[in-house]
Structure 1
Amino acid sequence: MRSVKICILLSLLDFVTSQSATDVKNLLTKLFVTDGYNKNVRPLQDQMQYVPIYLDFVLNSVIEFNEQEESLKTAGYLMAYWEDEYLTWNSSDYNGVDVLFVPQDDIWKPDLSLSNTFAIFKGMGSSYLNVQIYNDGLVQWFPSMIFESTCAVNIKYFPFDTQKCDLKFTAWSYRKVEVEIHKGNKGVVLDDYVKNAAWELVSSTSQDVVTEEAAVVFTLHLKRKPLFFLFNIIGPVLLLSILNIFTFVLPVESGEKAGYSITVFLALAVFLTIISDQLPNNSDTVSLMAIYLTTMVLLSTAVVAVCLIQIRLSIRKETEQPINRFYASIVKLANCLQCRRQMIQNKIKPDKIVKEKSLDDIDDEPEVEAISWMDVVHAMDFLLFWLAAIYTFVCTTAIACSAVSNV
C-alpha cells in the first residue's frame, strides 16, 4: 500500500514538472505560425460582432494637481481583459501549459488611450511589456504609465475646495459596434495607493460612456488639505485686516499714520497677487478668498484716503477756516456715542450770527465747549474705527460661513 502511494506521488511530481521549453515553443509555433495568427484582425470568428473589453484602473498615487494649468498627474496602470478566439488551445496537448507571456505588440489589442490627455497624446503601454494569455482565450494586459489629464477646476471655495477629475480611456480607432469598453468589477483599485500631502482622495467611481464612443471614465474626487493655506495665507490676511482697523488708533500727531496705512495696503495687495498666481485664469467662478482680499483692499484704499484727509484737516487753523456744521456734527455724534453731553460749537463764530442778548439770557445758556480741527480728526478716528471694525467683521463672517459650508 505504501509503495502505491509513493508511485502516485512520483507520477504527480512528474506531471507538474513535465512542462518544458519545448512545449512552450511548440505552442507558440502552433498559434503564431501554423495557425497564422494576424494581430491586425479583431479576435473574433464573426467579424460582425463587437469585442467586449473590461477595464479597471489601479491608482498608485496622485503626483500633482496643477490648478493654474488645470491638469492632474497620476501614476497607475490599467487592468484590461478580453477574449481572443484565435488564441485558444488544449493545455493537455502541451503537458499542462495553460498560460503564455508574449510581448504586447505581438497580438491584437485595443488601441487604448487617455482621450482627455493634457500632455502628449500617445497609446498605452510599451513594447517591453508582456500580456498574459490563458488557454481559454482570456487575455490580460496591464499597461502602466504616468497619466496627465485635464481637469476643470472650481476655485470658488479655495482653499476648502473639492475637485472632481475624470480619466477617460477610449479605443481611439474603433467604434462601439466594433469594440465595446466596459468598467470592470473592481473600478478604481486603491490597494497600492500612496497618500498625497496636499490632496485627500475622498472617493472614486467608474462608469461606461453612454454614447457611440467606446470609452469608460474613472472619476477621482479630491479634497484639498487646507492646513498650509490656513497658516501661510488666511492667518496673515486676517491679521492684516485687524491691523487695517487699528490705523485709526494711531494719532495723526505721530506723523506715521499715512505711512502705516499705505504699508498695510501694500501687504494686502501682495497677498492678493499671491492668490491670483495660484489660481487659474477662470472667469466662470471667482474664489471667495479673492473676493475677501478684494474687499479688504477696498477698505484699505478708503483708509489711506481718509488718513490723507485727516492730515490735511489737522493743519487747518480755526481762525482761517472755521469749522462748518458738517464737521461739527461729526464731533457731536462721536461725543454722543461716547456718552459726552456737553454742547459744542465753533471756536470762532461768524459775525452774521452773533446776536445781542440780555444778561439774563446769557446766564440761562448752558456751558458751551469750543471745538478745534484736531477735535474733528479725533472724532473721525473714533467713528471710522468702529465702522471699519463692523465692515471687517461682516465681510469675514460672510466669507467664512460660505467657505465652511462646503467643508
Structure 2
Amino acid sequence: MLLGLHDHWQELCHCHVSLSIYLGFLGAQGKFAYKLLNDLFANYSNALRPVEDTDRALNVTLRITLSQIIDMDERNQILTAYLWIRQVWVDAYLGWKKDAYDGIDSIRIPSSYVWRPDIVLYNNADEQFTGSMETNVVIRHDGQVMWDSPAITKSSCKVDVSYFPFDGQECRLTFGSWTYNGNQIDILNGLDTGDLTDFVENVEWEVLGMPAKRNVIIYGCCSEPYPDITYTLLLKRRASFYIFNLLLPCVMISFLAPLGFYLPADSGEKVSLGVTVLLALTVFQLLVAESMPPSENVPLIGKYYIATMTMITASTALTIFIMNVHHCGPGAKPVPKWAKKFILQYMARLFFVYEVGETCKSSKRQPKVRVVDGRTEEGGHQPRVCATGLCLCRHGSLLRDVEYVANCFRDQKAAQKRTGEWKKVAKVMDRIFMWIFFVMVFFMSVLILGKAI
C-alpha cells in the first residue's frame, strides 16, 4: 500500500512539473515555447554524450561558490559546507534559431530532461552520498546548457591540530567525472578561485581564500588521463572562544600553584592546594582531548596543560619535602654550616625572610650571658657577692640542683634554636621555589599566548 502511494505521489509531482512548465510557457510566447520544447526533445536522448563527433572531448566549465561552512568536525576530520555548483557545457542537439520561435533566446526546464555530466566530489565523506539538488537548467539558443545547483557536501579533510587553538587548516574539494576520461569530458576552471562574494561568515573559522587548480592524473589502472579541479579552502581558526574558555582559566589556575609555597606550613593546606589545582587542570585536559582527533600530534594547548601539570606535580612534591624539613623535631641534627651561611644569611636576605620582630635593618640581639662560679649573669652586671661566709649558694647539694636545672634549660634552648633554624630553612626554601615557579608559569603563559600574535 505504501509503495502504491509513493508511485501515485511521483505521478502527481511529475504532472505538477509538466503543468508548471506548460503554464510558464503560455503567454506572449507560450505557443512558440511549447512548440520549441516538443521540437527539441522529439528525438533527444539524455543517455548519451551530446557531441556530433564522438572522438572529440566535451568541455565542461565548473565554477564553485562557497556559501557557508556548516561544520568542521576535527575529531572525525570532516568538513561540511554549503556550495553552489555551476556547470556549463554545449549540447550539440539542443540549439535552435531564435527567429523560428518568435525570438526565444533561452528556456528553463528540469535538469532531468537533458544529459548531465557525472561530476562528483571525489573526497566525499557523506554516509548517504546525497548529491546536488534537482534544479532547472537554462538552455540557450546556441546549445549552451547552464546548470546551477546547491549542494551540502561532506568532504574528508586532513586536520592538523599541532597549533590548536591558533591553527589553520587546508581542506581540499576535488571535483571530477566519475566515468568519463579526459578524452571524453574535459573539465575547465570557470574562475581561478572559488567564489566567496556570497559567503556567510562563520563564527569559528575565517576563510582566507579558495584557490582552484586543474590537475590531469593518469591512474595505474588506465592509460587515459582523468582531469579534475581541486579547490583548496584556506581556513584560520578564530581563537577568541578558546582563549577565554580554555586558555585563560588554565593560566589563572597555574598561577595558584606557586602560591602554595607561600602558605604557612602549619596551616595544613599546602598539599591540598597543589592536588586541587592538578585535578582542575586534568578536567581541562580531558575537555581538549574529547574534541581533538586521536593523532600523534599533540595540540599546543595540550602541551601547555601537560607542562603545567608537570610543574604542579613537581611543586607538590617539593612542598612535601619542605614540610618535612619544617617539622624537624628537637632530636634533629643542627643545620650544617654551609646551609647557615648560604640559606639563613644570603638567601634569607635576598628573599626578605626574617623572624618575628626581625627586620631587614636589625636582627635579634642576644643578651650577653656570663657564667661565674656556676651562676649565669646577663647584661654585664657584676655578680652578687655573699655578704656572709655562710652563703647558702655555696651549699653543695643546692649547687648541683641549680646546675641540673641550668643544663636542662640550656638543652631546651638549644633544641628550640635548632628547630627554629630548620623552620627558617624551610621558609627560605618556600620563598625560593615560589619565585622560581612564578617565573616558569609567566614564561610558559607568554609563550603560549605569543602564538596568537
Q: TM-score range by the shorter chain?
A: 0.7 to 0.9
Query: 1:32 aligned to 18, 41, 64, which one?
Result: 41
- d(CA) in 1 for partners of 2:198 and 2:314? 55
Q: 1:57 to 1:165 in 2, by over 3 A?
A: same
Partner of 1:312: 324
Partner of 1:45: 52
Whichever residue aligns with residue 38 of structure 2, its letter is T
Task: Report SS of the residue matched to 1:81.
Answer: strand
The answer to whether the Cα contact below 8 Å between 2:124 and 2:155 also exists between their aligned partners in 1 is yes
**TM-score, normalising length: structure 2:** 0.73
Task: Report SS of the residue matched to 1:191.
Answer: coil
- d(CA) in 2 for partners of 1:290 and 1:380? 30
- d(CA) in 1 for partners of 2:362 and 2:125? 73
Task: Report SS of the residue matched to 1:209.
Answer: strand
Task: Report SS of the residue matched to 1:173.
Answer: coil
* In the alignment, structure 1 residue 334 sits paired with structure 2 residue 383: no
The answer to whether the Cα contact below 8 Å between 2:66 and 2:196 also exists between their aligned partners in 1 is yes
Instruction: Measure how far apart 1:399 and its partner are.
Output: 3.2
Task: Report SS of the residue matched to 1:28.
Answer: helix
Q: 1:326 to 1:147 in 2, by over 3 A?
A: farther
Instruction: Measure how far apart 1:121 and its partner are.
Output: 6.2
The answer to whether the Cα contact below 8 Å between 1:335 and 1:341 also exists between their aligned partners in 2 is no
Which digits, 9 at most, give the CA deviation of each residue in 1:208-258, with x for residues without a partner?
Answer: 123233321222222211111121111111111111111111111111111
Question: Percent sequence identity over matched residues?
Answer: 28
Which digits, 9 at most, give the CA deviation of each residue in 1:308-364, with x for residues without a partner?
Answer: 223333332142455457865654563363478999xxxxxxxxxxxxxxxxxxxxx
Partner of 1:232: 245
* In the alignment, structure 1 residue 222 sits paired with structure 2 residue 225: no
Instruction: Measure how far apart 1:123 and its partner are.
Output: 6.3
- d(CA) in 2 for partners of 1:261 and 1:327? 27
Q: Cα RMSD (Å) of the superposition?
A: 2.6
The answer to whether the Cα contact below 8 Å between 1:68 and 1:281 also exists between their aligned partners in 2 is yes
The answer to whether the Cα contact below 8 Å between 1:112 and 1:124 also exists between their aligned partners in 2 is no
The answer to whether the Cα contact below 8 Å between 1:56 and 1:186 also exists between their aligned partners in 2 is no
* In the alignment, structure 1 residue 75 sits paired with structure 2 residue 82: yes
Query: 1:116 aligned to 123, 128, 141, which one?
Result: 123
Residue-pair matches, total? 360
Which digits, 9 at most, give the CA deviation of each residue in 1:130-167, with x for residues without a partner?
Answer: 11111101000012121111111221222222222121
Instruction: Measure how far apart 1:45 and its partner are.
Output: 0.8
The answer to whether the Cα contact below 8 Å between 2:85 and 2:149 also exists between their aligned partners in 1 is yes
Query: 1:374 aligned to 415, 418, 423, which one?
Result: 423
Instruction: Measure how far apart 1:372 and its partner are.
Output: 3.1
Query: 2:160 aligned to 134, 151, 154, which one?
Result: 154
Partner of 2:210: 204
- d(CA) in 1 for partners of 2:286 and 2:334? 44
Partner of 2:101: 94
* In the alignment, structure 1 residue 178 sits paired with structure 2 residue 198: no
Larger strand fraction of residues: 1
Task: Report SS of the residue matched to 1:143.
Answer: strand
* In the alignment, structure 1 residue 57 sits paired with structure 2 residue 106: no
Q: 1:338 to 1:58 in 2, by over 3 A?
A: closer
Q: 1:110 to 1:316 in 2, by over 3 A?
A: same
Q: 1:264 to 1:174 in 2, by over 3 A?
A: same
Unmatched tracts of structure 2, length 5 or more = 1-26, 218-224, 353-359, 364-413
Which digits, 9 at most, give the CA deviation of each residue in 1:237-296, with x for residues without a partner?
Answer: 11111111111111111111111111111111111111222222221x332211111110
Task: Report SS of the residue matched to 1:146.
Answer: strand
Instruction: Measure how far apart 1:107 and its partner are.
Output: 1.4
The answer to whether the Cα contact below 8 Å between 2:165 and 2:300 also exists between their aligned partners in 1 is no
The answer to whether the Cα contact below 8 Å between 1:73 and 1:149 also exists between their aligned partners in 2 is yes
The answer to whether the Cα contact below 8 Å between 1:58 and 1:190 also exists between their aligned partners in 2 is yes
